[in-house]
Structures are given as C-alpha cells and as structure tokens.
Amino acid sequence: MANTHMQLQEILFSQGFGTRRVCAGLVQQGFVELAGVPYTDPAIEMVAKELCFTVQGVAWEYHEKAYLMLHKPAGYECSQKPSTYPSIYTLLPAPIRQRGGGAAAGVQAVGRLDQDTTGLLLLSDDGKFIHRMSSPKHHVPKVYEVTAKHPVDGQQVGKLLAGVVLDDDPRPVRAAACVQTGERQFSLTLTEGKYHQVKRMVAAVGNRVEDIGGLHRSRIGALDLPADLPPGGWRWLTASDLASIAGEAAKK
C-alpha cells in the first residue's frame, strides 16, 4: 500500500482499536498522539504506511496486514472458542484480536498446536499467507523437538524416515528428517500437517510422546523460534522473517 492516505479514525479502526465511533472518540478525547503531539480531528488524513502513533500512551505502528509469531505455552488451545483450556488469542493485545472489525476480525493461527504442545506458532489476518503456509502442496517443513516416554533407538528413527502407516490413510507418512539428540530425545522434521501427526507417528514405531513437555515446535521453514521470546510472548515478523518463510514455501 504505497503512500495511501487514510483518515486517522479509519487507521485506528483498521488496526483494531474498536468501532469507527469508538476510534473517532479516542481521537476527539486526545488519546491519540503522533510524535508526542495529540490529534483531535478524527477525519484528518495522513499516510498510513509505517505510521507510528500512540493510543492512550501505548506505542503502535501501522501494519496493513498482521504477521506475528507466538511462543505458544502449554495449557492453551489454538481456538477462538476453547473447550477446556484458555485460548492462545488471550495472549495477544485486544487490538490485534480485533483488527479489521467484522465477523472475521483479528488474526488467525496458521495451523494448530495441541494444548500440551509448545513452540513456534504463526498468526496472520492475510488469508493468502495462511493458505500458502498451511497448504499441504507447499510442504513447508516444520521441526519438532520430541521427548519420548521410552528410550529411542536407531530402528525407530529408521522407521520414521522410511514411513509409517497411520490409521486414517493407507499411504505411508515419512519424516523429512529425524535426528536423535538424546536417550529419549530426537528432532523430527515434517512437511505435512495431519491431526496429531507427531504423536501418532511415534506411537506407530512402538514409543510415545511424553505427556508433559514432550513436544515443542522449534522451526517453521527457515524461521527459528527466537531464544529470547519467552512462553506466551509474541512479536511482529520482520521483513527478513517473511522473506525466509515465503522463500521456503515458494521452493515447493
């Protein structure tokens, strides 16, 4: 969106700060500042791209589309309407959950992680990006750090690489890579996203994933979960982040 001018109230609305009436009210009451200067005219037009502003003292930057990473902690569901555990969306600020308004407001998770699985999760409000990253035809690799209930041996690793048959598909499912990293630990790379795939593959070779702390996603494509992003933390994807994962999807 090159140098598009928008009304200030429309900028706030697009970024999730409430209804148009609420956004207009925020401006009129002097709660919106640019470079430390409060603006009180909701209809004033400005270039939206890369606009930095504060709303009630909190700094924000305009993003035409949202692309985020979240370090998913255990005990959260990847659902807008969770059944047992709290939703991952409660870990995000309200404006990100409400971006764009309407019935489909806010960001959506790119794929899901089970409630007891931790690690890297991408979220976006860009439907094309979500489809590209989650579609099986693109085969974007995802790396999982697995802790098994019982010791891992070379035979199990070999079977995971050769392929195992799951109960919902007669075709073998193969790991793109599998490297043992400890007596009960291994790193598993998958390019598909079947339901409970890692747990079912490990069960198919005669082992099982440890119930607590047994499954952690450390990488998607060429994007690693940053060591300094704590469980429950999130951040915007950078241009280089997007380039790395988009490039990975484009290879397929």
Q: Which amino acid is at 145?
A: E
Could you tell me how far CA 195 lies from the centroid of its own chain?
A: 17
CB 122 within 8 A of CB 88: no
DSSP state letter for 77: B
Active site residue 114: yes
Coil, strand or helix: which one is 120? strand
Q: How far is CA 195 from CA 61, 83, 117, 250, in A?
A: 36, 18, 13, 24
**Which of 52-91 are b and which e, b meaning 16 or more Cβ less than 10 Å from the residue's Cβ?**
ebebeeeebebbeebbbbbbbbbebbbbeeeeeeebbbeb
CB 238 within 8 A of CB 210: no
Q: Which amino acid is at 27?
A: V
Catalytic residues: 114
